[in-house]
Structure 1
Amino acid sequence: MSCTCLARLTRCSGLVQKTVVPLLFQQGNFPELTHFDRKLFGQSRRQYSSSRFDPDSSGRPTTWDSFGIWDDRIDEPILLPPSIRYGKIIPNVNLMKVGCASLIGQRKENEDRFQVSQMTDNIHYFAVFDGHGGSEAADFCEKYMEKFIKSFLAEEDNLETVLSKAFLEIDKAFAKHLHFFPNGPGLNSGSTATVALLRDGIELVVASVGDSRAMLCRKGKAVKLTVDHTPERKDEKERIKRSGGFITWNSLGQPNVNGRLAMTRSIGDLDLKKMGVIAEPETKRILLHHVHDSFLALTTDGVNFIMNSQEICSIIGQCHDPKEAAQRISDQALHYGSEDNSTIIVVPFGAWGKHRSSDTHFSFSRSFVSSGRWA
């Protein structure tokens, strides 16, 4: 059955927002449950309705498992309008199943912040912020980033453009905020920011500044969605030098901007803005393939420094659910010797649990921690 016919059927049937209908997809030759329910659970823990299809009056919902598509790996309804629009099956991403964990490590305080929320009817919001020089910048991002994104969504449909504008504006707003506290503790405060927006359950857009990362697991392999902004990158180092800044290396061989900042882009760090440290993010847009994509992981450098992307991907793939996965990764980072705060968000997609790997992956940086060279 073509998408045009499906759309005509939808109109003629007078379907409303919460209608459930059997849908026959030509490619798979099997009936699928289609369901569209815009709201799930938000940060306020308020529950929204989620009706299911019950063909045999057994009281048990018909899910993906009932049709034997992906064994017992997903138990979510299908989003009807996006599935028709994109011509492929799109399951709902349940925010209640997203895994989050944040551990303080060996630091005096946890300067990491994270957020998971239903931003609009069809857009999910995921973000991690790793503060440095105090938690003021990370706190500011946690409180206002979503609001800035919403304001630009009202006038712009391109999510990459929306995120770029929001990052630049929140950096300006933080500078204005500190202007009223000239002797406050936040003048040297800064934060990484890695934000992911998921629209219609299929369009994933990621924006990032700093060294917090976003990674997609596709067919069991890690696909990096962000690249760290450090002085080791030639393009970043050249911008710093053109702006009058300089690069130094500490005793561990790590490059720093003007001897104090390990990254070349951030929110805040106002004293280094004239030295080429910018808040403009790099963005990436990708369409999900739920038959292949297992999850999205957002991590701070307390995890990244000690575990490589494929190792994170493999460990998460062995876990029963995203909540267990997030806790295991953060615990593992500390067990391996990470002294920084370790924060992770794990967002499950259609192929959750489908691609499991028993391969052993090793992070080279962990050997330095084990030998005490990073002490």
Structure 2
Amino acid sequence: MSTATLINLVRNGGYQVSRRAVLTSRLLQEEKRPAAAGYSSTSERRPSRFDSDGSGQHTTWDTFGIWDNRIDEPILLPPSIKYGKPIPKVSLAKVGCASIIGKRKENEDRFDYAQLTEDILYFAVYDGHGGAAAADFCDKYMEKYIKEFLAEEENLENVLNKAFLEINRAYERHAHLSADATLLSSGTTATVALLRDGIELVVASVGDSRALLCRKGKAMKLTTDHTPERKEEKDRIRRCGGFVAWNSVGQPHVNGRLAMTRSIGDLELKNCGVIAQPETKRVQLHHADDSFLVLTTDGINLMVNSQEICDFIKQCHDAAEAAHIVTEQAMQFGTEDNSTIVIVPFGAWGKYKNNEISFSFSRSFASSGRWA
């Protein structure tokens, strides 16, 4: 898309216009463009960017980086000019989320999403343990710390690194000033995603909550669980004076207490190598291929593997329906933990449906995410 075309669209229709308006504008330009010198055939159709093979068939939005057969969304013109291709607006109104208590006495999971700045969106899940205090603290203050570092830092990975470490320090101050001693043993996972300009996706995570991207119908993992089974994590715990012990079902725990090696909170284990430093990943979205982003807590992850999550979501009409379907499936598959999911639709939503997938009320543990 030429810069001149986009500027004209801004003048005529504001900063957001429908993709069909852009397509119409470009088609009119093609029709008005004079034929090249020496090209005089009247029987052969002249190919163009919109009809590259001269077949007379309309070119789909895959050509421009966006699939055309989804819910019509406005185009973000400044990012489209910046990246040289149409970029759809990612609408918070179409985000789907669900959180269920399972068989626990309390739901310690938290989730959030918001628009932080004109060009940056925020999505997060937090899975608390030892009480909901740490998850509540992150849910309440993470946006604040991210905004503070966005004001002084352009690199989103650095922003998230600083925000995670600062919120852990703030929680430590809060816990030591509180009369409630249980705050010292409370902790939480944190999986946070920032989306800039509708195309630059950065994810940061501590603990075992996950983020995945559905690209061309396949699950693309954006996070790796922080557990004592990872050699580098186990080595750090031991260097810091901690130890790893296995419970009766073979699950490793830090000092026999915590199933993860990174978290926010868990202040009593910070001297044993449990850190709040996140691992980060940066991805550039391709809206012709990328259907959605998913953030989940381990109530889902232990029972439904990443590809199953993608397959269930692909069959749903919208993200709100999909969020409820996935949490219900986790319950049917036997999860007892709190289960939370956030689903963010992208340009290829609905493109890669697989009609073979059906929802089930039972399964074999041998094929589940917990035992596979």
TM-score computed with the length of structure 2 as normaliser: 0.83
Task: Give distance in 1, aligned partners of 2:9 and 2:319.
Answer: 34
Residues 15 and 368 from structure 1, CA distance in 2 versus in 1: closer, same or farther, beyond 3 angstroms? closer
User: Hey, what's the Cα distance between the residues in 2 that align with 1:17 and 1:73?
Assistant: 21
Per-residue CA distance 1:77-136 (angstroms, 9 max, x = gap): 111111111011211111111000000000000000000111111111100000000000
1:315 matched to which residue of 2?
312
Question: What number of residue pairs does the alignment pair up?
Answer: 333
Q: Secondary structure at the match of 1:216?
A: strand
Q: Say whether 1:107 aligns with 2:93.
A: no
Q: Which residue of structure 2 aligns with residue 128 of structure 1? A: 125
Q: Percent identity?
A: 66
Task: Look up the equivalent residue of 1:315 and give its one-letter code.
Answer: F
Amino acid corresponding to residue 75 of structure 1 in structure 2: D
Q: Secondary structure at the match of 1:78?
A: strand
Partner of 1:44 in structure 2? none
Counterpart pick for 1:141 among 138, 144, 159: 138
Alpha-carbon contact 2:312-2:357 (below 8 Å) kept: no
Q: CA RMSD in A?
A: 2.8
State the partner residue of 2:182. Answer: 185
Deviation at 1:6, TM superposition (A): 4.2
- Map 1:11-22 onto structure 2 (within 5 A): 13=11, 17=15, 22=22
CA contact (8 A) 1:100 1:344 kept: yes
| Aligned match of 1:296 | 293
* Consecutive unaligned residues in structure 2, runs of 5 or more: 31-47, 52-60
Partner of residue 114, structure 2? 117
How much has 1:187 moved relative to structure 2?
1.2
Task: Give 1:77's aligned residue.
Answer: 74
- Report whether the alignment pairs 1:272 with 2:269: yes
Change (3 A) 1:352 1:19: closer
Runs ≥4 residues deviating over 3 A: 5-11, 13-23, 25-28, 69-72, 358-362, 366-371
Letter of the structure 1 residue corresponding to residue 320 of structure 2:
K
Distance 1:171 1:182 in 2: 18
Q: Which structure 2 residues correspond to residues 164-175 of structure 1 after superposition, within 5 A?
A: 164-175=161-172
SS in 2 for 1:352: coil
Does structure 1 retain, via aligned residues, the 8 Å contact 2:16–2:75?
A: no
Match of 1:352 among 345, 349, 353: 349
Q: Is the 8 A contact 1:311 1:360 kept in 2?
A: no
**2:74 aligned counterpart, secondary structure:** coil
Is 1:216 the equivalent of 2:218? no
Q: Residue in 2 aligned with 1:238?
A: 235
Larger Rg: 2
Q: Secondary structure at the match of 1:185?
A: helix
Instruction: Please state whether the residue corresponding to 2:73 is helix, strand or coil.
Output: coil
| Paired AA for residue 204 in structure 1 | L
The answer on whether the counterparts of 1:314 and 1:359 sit within 8 Å (CA) in structure 2 is: no
Instruction: Give, as a single letter, the amino acid of the residue that structure 1 aligns with 2:26.
Output: L
- Relative to structure 2, which stretch is displaced further, 18-27 or 327-336? 18-27
Alignment match, 1:29:
50
